[in-house]
Structure 1
Amino acid sequence: MTGQEPVVEAVDIGKRYGSTVALDRAAITVRPGETHALVGRNGAGKSTMVAMLTGLQAPDTGRITFGGRPAPPLGDRDAWRRQVACVYQKSTIIPALTVAENLFLNRHDRGPGGLIRWGALRRSARELLATWSVDVDVDQPASALTVEQRQFVEIARALSFGARFIILDEPTAQLDGAGITRLFARIAALRAQGVTFLFISHHLQEIYEICDVVTIFRDARHIRTTAVAGLDRADLVAAMTGEDVSLAGDPHRRPPAADAEVRVVVRDLVTASGAEASFEARAGEVIGLAGGGGSGKFEVAEALVGLARPVGGTVAVDGRTLRRGSVPDALAAGVGLVPQDRHRQGLVPLLSVAENVTMTVPERVTRRGLISPARRDAFARRFITDLAIKASGPHVSVSDLSGGNQQKVVMGRALAGDPKLLVLITPTAGVDVRSKQTLLGVVEQVRRRGTVVLVVSDELDDLRVCDRVLVLLRGRIVRDLPAGWRDNDLVAAMEGVDLGHV
């Protein structure tokens, strides 16, 4: 490959969104014929770099070249498609159309009068798929395709524009083991036909299986680019996390006694996506549920609290088995929840702080069968004080609050019923440091009262408050790490890397 211009080169790329630095003098160079990995923790800048490399956004500073030539203007989408294509984790295939229609969307072969020549369209589709060895019926609706087939169709569609550089964004997240094996075989075959890949995955073990070179981002910056073959797994994780390998949480804090009452029992739980979980939690125990993309941690959490209906297994709180897929039953059993998406699942924006906090406990703020505004406001004031919610009073609309204070309102509602089980899904996402301290401080307060807390997150700071962390990988619990884990060990478990293997 010596002497050949890079397929793509991004140099000194800077990008800001308001006060947030998304990329800071970041760089990546991908050479012809490589399968090049781009890795980093959440927020490292990977998605922003992909947006720059595909022309969806322009960098504030720096330059991008393809084959030594400047990147096309943002508005020239056809020119971008001839240079690069991205197959995203969320498919861009239109289910209601046939495979052939998806392959040549807005590029239909037309005859006299502008009518689409359907026969010619189907022939072109078959020729295209045959060229790239994709065995799919072009006449079937795209809705009938498997995840794996959709990916292959998207790759073929990208190649039809002339691009020979394909970005694969978390391509294995929804594939089983056999599907991953077939995908990797297809990547190898396409490389032999002159296609170059940029491979993005949270499963670092896959980097060693399929990639030649890896570029590591951390905190919006380029950290290192090196050959995969010579990179020790521990060094890869250390580059992603930084040099901080301090113990998590307070190593002197005692976990619940071995004879403490078992309050939560999860037996053979199976989610609709196929994730599985079984565990027990004792009074006052804080358990973390961690994992990367496609691990199943969110699905398990939502099945526990009734937001999603599991296909198998049971969840019991203080001996009461919860009804599958029933939020009201979970609330009645003493389950409190801070959901993943506070805007869609956690708040009613046009209602007041008091109305949001007391929404699930109307019986606590009634007088003679009717809601008492005075009782409701008094009840809410306690949480405004305890959680340091910055609002002039309980009457303030939550839409007028900052993101961190909105999250505190959601936490207040989760605590309003004095829960026996408190489930926190990404509880500090999008909040400032002070709000994060307040929200995580709640965990220590409620555990002292015997509440079981489940913290569902892949943010290390969230997991430091846990007595132990259950790590999911591809829908299975693969590790049970006690308090005192090192950052590198937890990240390695989440990413599927065995640090003991060199």
Structure 2
Amino acid sequence: MVDEDPQDAPAQELEPTSGDAAGTTSRSPLLRMEGIVKHFPGAKALDGVDLDVLPGEVHCLLGQNGAGKSTLIKVLSGAHQPTAGRILVDDTEVSIPHPVAALGLGVATVYQELDVVDGLTVAENIYLGHELASGGFTQRREAARRTREILRRLGHPEISPHREVGQLPAAGKQIVSMARALSHDARVIVMDEPSAVLDSGEVDNLFRVVRELTTQGVAIVYISHRMEEIRAIGDRITVLKDGRTVGRNLPAHTPTRELITLMTGRTVEYAFPQRPGVAGDAPVVLDVQGLSLAGAFEDVSLQVRAGEVVGLAGLVGSGRSEILETIYGARKQTAGTVAVSDKRLRPGSVPAAVAAGVGLCPEERKSQGLVLDEAVYRNITLSTFARTARGGWLDERTERREAREQAEALDLRPRDVDRAIRTLSGGNQQKAVLARWLVHGCDVLLLDEPTRGVDVGARSELYALVRALADAGTAVLVVSSEIPEVLGLADRVHVVSDGRVVHQAPAQDIDEHGVLDLVMEGSAA
């Protein structure tokens, strides 16, 4: 399955000259990062990274979780200071001591976890921290006028500057984040997994906005694990592995297998584990009947047997996540029942669900699944405090031991369970959430977007882990925006559209085209 590459193999490189993959003429990079090194106590996150970005191009940054992408972004944004190396803008070496300095240089970042303030208006968010003022008074009318101009530039004149950001969908909040970047006259915009919360139509609009920005000379550093996006929007690719640049200025049409080999140091067969099939007489572990939540979904009935993986397929906003949250007790249903092993759960009670053996890995891991300032081990043992406590005090030795066992089993990187979990990459944070339920030992595992923000090299590991849990008797209910993922991982699939289950079938009896046709009411045909 694997062919090992030498650890210190030189980076593959295509120099950005006339006729390269970006279709650009020879010109100087707008941004250049040379030999960037970043040390943390006990770890070297970056070990000589090189990156150069041309004006008006989309430069894609790839790498496994933990490869150093997030650290590199934070160095560029001024959140971290490099241990060594230099950064040049317009061929002039610059210092970026803090995020305000980065914005002053025209470098802005749109993070995966959107950093908008829901209680403020669109205009207030866009000019947050650099408010327009005269004589000590905020110029609200001028801020609204400039906001309208920026939103028109982004192709969204329908968004009102006076609307509260909390009322916008995820795609609208992302536009606000991009507008904030443009309000600083950004010349380089870093986009970290920008499509993670978007459906297919919203992704198409994102691409339109990106293309419009590049025609205006703005350079985009685009981070994504979705290869189809790289093909659609990218010009060149830089690949990181273990804090080093292993592929530099590669064309966007570089074969996926070659990119994965660079990212992992080995050839990876990106495949779903075999489905052994579930016996028809296997006991029903999760039984949902007539479940409804006003305004979100209605009359959902499904069963998951021991050892079975059932998938919920549908578009963002179809009600899939709300179904999982209601089963878990995080929302109180307006009708219907949820039972685990023939025992009905108390509506709207997370403790009752957890006590019955139900675990949830939520879509928004940072806001819903993790205590970011706590240690990794404490996040892993959150659901087992009662078991690890001794005389009313937490037994930290037991917590650490159990956390280390799971960190080893899941290949958590780095293995230091005492470090704050916010310092881990997104994929490793997701592994920690999953490890929590492995420590707890659950009969029903609810997975909401389990591979969101997880690189292609690690996905196969997660798929194999989910299948291993099912083979051990766990009933798994999984939601994913990626239809091939649902079809490849699940034994049976329920298609959800506008809050209703419109079809159910064995996974092998339905294809991606069929699912899209169902959720889009035939328009895919």
Query: What TM-score do you get using the length of structure 2 for normalisation?
Result: 0.63
Q: Report the secondary structure of 2:39's partner residue.
A: strand
1:101 is matched with which residue: 99, 124, 131? 124
Q: 1:109 to 1:337 in 2, by over 3 A?
A: closer
Percent identity between the two aligned chains: 30
Structure 2 match to 1:375: none
1:263 aligns with 2:285: yes
1:474 aligns with 2:481: yes
After TM superposition, list the pairs within 5 Å mapping 1:172-183 onto structure 2.
172-183=195-206
Q: 1:34 to 1:225 in 2, by over 3 A?
A: same
Q: CA deviation at 1:197?
A: 0.7
Q: CA deviation at 1:130?
A: 4.3
**Number of residue pairs the alignment of both structures matches:** 423
Listed one character per residue, the Cα deviations across residues 28-53 of structure 1 (whole Å, up to 9, x for unaligned) are 22112111111222222111111111
Q: CA deviation at 1:194?
A: 1.3
**Hey, what's the Cα distance between the residues in 1 that align with 2:246 and 2:108?**
25
Structure 2 match to 1:201: 224
Q: Unmatched 5+ residue regions in structure 1?
A: 360-379, 385-392, 412-423, 484-502
2:193 is matched with which residue: 156, 166, 170? 170
Kept in 1, the 8 Å contact 2:239–2:246? The answer is yes
Q: Report the secondary structure of 1:29's partner residue.
A: strand
Q: 1:433 to 1:280 in 2, by over 3 A?
A: farther
Q: Report the secondary structure of 1:478's partner residue.
A: helix
Kept in 1, the 8 Å contact 2:273–2:463? The answer is no
After TM superposition, list the pairs within 5 Å mapping 1:92-241 onto structure 2.
92-111=115-134, 113-131=135-153, 133-135=155-157, 136-241=159-264
Amino acid at match of 1:5: S
Kept in 2, the 8 Å contact 1:108–1:116? The answer is yes
Query: What TM-score do you get using the length of structure 1 for normalisation?
Result: 0.66
Q: Report the secondary structure of 2:487's partner residue.
A: strand
Structure 2 match to 1:12: 35
Q: Report the secondary structure of 1:163's partner residue.
A: coil
Structure 1 match to 2:85: 62
The two structures, once aligned, show a CA RMSD in angstroms of 5.1
Listed one character per residue, the Cα deviations across residues 453-474 of structure 1 (whole Å, up to 9, x for unaligned) are 6495555556544346987541
1:37 aligns with 2:60: yes
Amino acid at match of 1:34: E
Amino acid at match of 1:154: S
Kept in 1, the 8 Å contact 2:291–2:337? The answer is yes
Q: CA deviation at 1:157?
A: 2.8
Structure 2 match to 1:495: none
Q: CA deviation at 1:408?
A: 7.6
**Hey, what's the Cα distance between the residues in 1 that align with 2:290 and 2:93?**
55
2:51 is matched with which residue: 6, 12, 28? 28
Q: 1:115 to 1:262 in 2, by over 3 A?
A: closer
Structure 2 match to 1:77: 100
Q: 1:121 to 1:214 in 2, by over 3 A?
A: same
Q: Report the secondary structure of 2:78's partner residue.
A: coil
Q: CA deviation at 1:167?
A: 0.9
Q: 1:49 to 1:83 in 2, by over 3 A?
A: same
Q: 1:247 to 1:122 in 2, by over 3 A?
A: closer
Kept in 2, the 8 Å contact 1:472–1:479? The answer is no
Listed one character per residue, the Cα deviations across residues 241-264 of structure 1 (whole Å, up to 9, x for unaligned) are 33154899999x988766543434
Q: 1:29 to 1:218 in 2, by over 3 A?
A: same
Amino acid at match of 1:480: G
Range moving further from structure 2, 396-405 or 214-223: 396-405
Q: Report the secondary structure of 2:486's partner residue.
A: strand
Q: Unmatched 5+ residue regions in structure 2?
A: 1-23, 419-430, 452-457, 471-475, 492-525
Q: 1:403 to 1:212 in 2, by over 3 A?
A: farther
**Hey, what's the Cα distance between the residues in 2 that align with 1:403 and 1:139?**
48
Structure 2 match to 1:51: 74
Q: CA deviation at 1:198?
A: 0.9
Amino acid at match of 2:116: I
Kept in 2, the 8 Å contact 1:10–1:27? The answer is yes
Q: Report the secondary structure of 1:16's partner residue.
A: strand
Kept in 2, the 8 Å contact 1:38–1:215? The answer is yes
**Hey, what's the Cα distance between the residues in 1 that align with 2:207 and 2:361?**
38
After TM superposition, list the pairs within 5 Å mapping 1:70-469 onto structure 2.
70-75=93-98, 77-78=100-101, 80-111=103-134, 113-131=135-153, 133-135=155-157, 136-243=159-266, 245=268, 259-265=281-287, 281-283=304-306, 285=307, 303-307=326-330, 315-331=338-354, 333-335=356-358, 341=369, 359=386, 394-395=390-391, 397-398=393-394, 400-401=396-397, 404-405=400-401, 407=403, 432=415, 452=443, 454=445, 458=451, 461=461, 463-465=463-465, 466-467=467-468
**Hey, what's the Cα distance between the residues in 2 that align with 1:473 and 1:18?**
37
Structure 2 match to 1:389: none
Listed one character per residue, the Cα deviations across residues 372-424 of structure 1 (whole Å, up to 9, x for unaligned) are xxxxxxxx6xxx8xxxxxxxx94594374486336489x9xxxxxxxxxxxx9
**Hey, what's the Cα distance between the residues in 2 that align with 1:27 and 1:145?**
38
Range moving further from structure 2, 194-203 or 96-105: 96-105
Kept in 2, the 8 Å contact 1:286–1:455? The answer is no
Listed one character per residue, the Cα deviations across residues 406-446 of structure 1 (whole Å, up to 9, x for unaligned) are 6489x9xxxxxxxxxxxx9x97757849999xx98x97998
Q: 1:249 to 1:472 in 2, by over 3 A?
A: closer
